[in-house]
Amino acid sequence: LTFGLSYWVIGLLHGDMEHPEGDGNFVPCVMQVNTFVAAFLFSVETQTTIGYGARCVTEECPVAVFMVVFQSIMGCIIDAFMIGAIMAKMARPKKRAETLLFSHNAVIALRDGKLCFMFRVANLRKSHIVEAHVRAQLVKPRYTEEGEYIPLDQIDMNVGYDNGTDRLFLVAPLTVIHEINEESPLFGISKQDLETSDFEIVIILEGLVEATAMTTQARSSYLPSEILWGHRFEPVIFEEKSQYRIDYAYFHKTFEVLSTPRCSAKDMEERKFPTSGANSFCYENELAFISRDEEEEGDGEKEEDRKCSTELVDEQA
pLDDT for the residue numbered 96:
72
**Distance, CA of 167 to CA of 161 (rounded, Å):** 8
Instruction: Name residues whose C-beta falls within 8 Å of residue 257's C-beta, 6 or more positions apart in sequence.
Output: 109, 110, 230, 231, 232
Q: Give pairs for 89-93: CB < 8 Å, separation 24+.
A: 91/209, 91/211, 91/212, 91/214, 93/209, 93/212, 93/214, 93/215, 93/216, 93/217
pLDDT for the residue numbered 7:
76
pLDDT for the residue numbered 153:
93
pLDDT of the chain, 317 residues: tens digit per residue: 777 788 778 777 777 677 666 566 777 777 777 777 878 787 887 777 777 777 777 777 888 888 888 888 888 888 888 888 887 676 666 677 788 999 999 999 999 989 999 999 999 888 888 999 999 999 999 999 899 999 999 999 999 888 888 899 989 999 999 999 999 999 999 999 999 999 999 999 999 888 777 888 999 999 999 999 999 999 999 988 888 999 999 999 999 999 999 999 999 888 765 544 433 344 433 333 333 444 444 555 445 455 434 443 344 44
172 DSSP assignment = S
Q: Is 163 exposed, middle or buried (0-12, 13-18, 19+ CB in 10 A)?
A: exposed
User: Could you give all domains of the chain from N- to C-terminal order, each with its CATH number?
Assistant: 2-90 (1.10.287.70), 105-271 (2.60.40.1400)
Instruction: Name residues whose C-beta falls within 8 Å of residue 208's C-beta, 6 or more positions apart in sequence.
Output: 129, 130, 131, 214, 215, 216
pTM: 0.63
Q: Are 65 and 30 in contact (CB under 8 A)?
A: no
